[in-house]
Amino acid sequence: MRPAGRGLVEGVAALGLASGISAAVGWLVLLVVARAGGPEEYATFSAMWSLYLACVGVLVGLQQEQTRSMLRSDRGTGTSETTCQLAAVVPLCAVAVVPTLIAAMWWAREAGAAEQVRIVLGICLGVPFLFAATAVNARLAADARWRLLAAVTIGDQVVRLLVVAVVVHHEPGPTGYALAIAAGVLAYLPLMGEAGRALASRAAGSAAGLLKRASAAMVATGCANLLAVGMPFLISVTGESDPSIEGSLFAAIVLTRSPLLLPINALRPLLLRQCILHRDVLTAWFVEKLPAALAAGVAAVVGGALVGPAILKLLFGPNFEIAGQTLAGLVACALLMVAMTISGVALVALDQDASSTGGWAVAVIASLACLALPLDVVDRTLLALAAGPAMGLVVHLSAMARGVRSVGAD
């Protein structure tokens, strides 16, 4: 058996490399569509892509609970119940299909009947495969098979890139894009049967227990990911606007968020460790880091205003046009998301998971309310991206202050 420290180092290295490569390939997918189809085609693809990412984000909670359940069984700390925990996945899968279908049908309401039927069938077939891919990830994480987990993570994006390239050149459109986005699941296919058997035989506890824990975790990760990556889809379904304007706006959202949110999410384990180490002086620790964070934020906002439009055209194409002040506003909104992510991690360190989830839920509700306002698409987007995280951050900071006082009293 390998030493635990060595396994941890190997896991961090493998998953870190996989995250970097996957992010790069994911960017290539977006750029291929943008440069081949222009803002209008990119708007369609981006809305579907963000819906897919939001669904994947919801399933992160299920994956975490499946991993924990198998680990508890391996260590002999689970209950003696032998109920097949696959029974818990079936209702979760069924519940996930319904809102996804409603959202997709609303988005495709102007498409023809045949197009809508293809979208419905694609979702009904695709969601179970996503759940199966989640079981693969959970099983590989429970067994510390980091290299294989990294390989399928990269394979997911590579397969998608290849299919997207074919679709863009032969049959661009909602059906082709949906097929291309879902094609990444094929990388998991050889491991799905084995993962299902492992979940059925090794998971500790009852199906009802997993259902309860996984539902709570899925709400938490779903709210966070809907706000982080699901905004293009939400913007698309909550109002009508020029597709070319939407395409440029969605590209600008990706451009301003990815450089900030990808690193902070990759560093979440390290950040959590630091918050736990400074648990008793958390407020003072944050205050100490605040001046440097504010200076970096101001520089990022100014940079977005000055060079953002040129970078957007350079990467996505000459037809992608966004005003400098809009890009500066999007950078500021992304910084609010970073602050909210950090405060959420701090709440976890203070054992206040419910407060962390509550903040994300408030942020999603506030963002949706702003998107429903009868405003120009750029204005309501900026308002939603600012107001949601700001209100969620207030909830987080209030809970964190109470938690710090409680720790101090202990």
354: confidence class by pLDDT, cuts 50, 70, 90: confident
Whether the CB-CB separation of 85 and 210 falls below 8 Å is answered with: yes
Amino acid code (one letter) for 128 = P
CA distances from 154 to 90, 195, 207, 266, 352 (A): 27, 19, 31, 16, 33
DSSP-based three-state secondary structure for 79: coil
Whether the CB-CB separation of 70 and 294 falls below 8 Å is answered with: no
- Cα–Cα dist 301/333, whole Å: 10
What percent of the chain is predicted at pLDDT more than 70? 74
Residues 287-310: pLDDT tens digits?
A: 777 778 888 888 989 998 999 899
Q: 52, 48, 56, 87: which is closest to 69 by C-alpha? A: 87
User: Can you give the pLDDT at residue 79?
Assistant: 47
Q: Which DSSP category does 322 fall into?
A: -
CA-based max dimension of the chain: 65
Query: Who has greater pLDDT, 173 or 318?
Result: 318
Residue 314 has pLDDT above 80, yes or no: yes
User: Can you give the pLDDT at residue 2?
Assistant: 47
What six digits make up the tokens of 153? 């993570």
Residue 364 has pLDDT above 80, yes or no: yes
CA distances from 55 to 99, 121, 154, 225, 359 (A): 10, 17, 19, 8, 20
Residues 56-82: pLDDT tens digits?
A: 877 777 777 777 777 766 555 444 444
Residue 249 has pLDDT above 90, yes or no: yes
Amino acid code (one letter) for 194 = E
Query: What totals of helices (H) and strands (E) does the chain contain, helices first?
Result: 14, 0
- Cα–Cα dist 123/102, whole Å: 11
Q: How many CB atoms are located within 10 Å of the residue 375 CB?
A: 15
DSSP-based three-state secondary structure for 373: coil
DSSP-based three-state secondary structure for 410: coil
User: Can you give the pLDDT at residue 96?
Assistant: 62
| 4-18, 132-146, 344-358: least confidently modelled range | 4-18
| 31-35, 57-61, 101-105: least confidently modelled range | 101-105
pTM: 0.80
DSSP-based three-state secondary structure for 109: coil
- Cα–Cα dist 268/207, whole Å: 30
Chain mean position to CA 238: 20
CA distances from 82 to 66, 140, 185 (A): 15, 21, 29
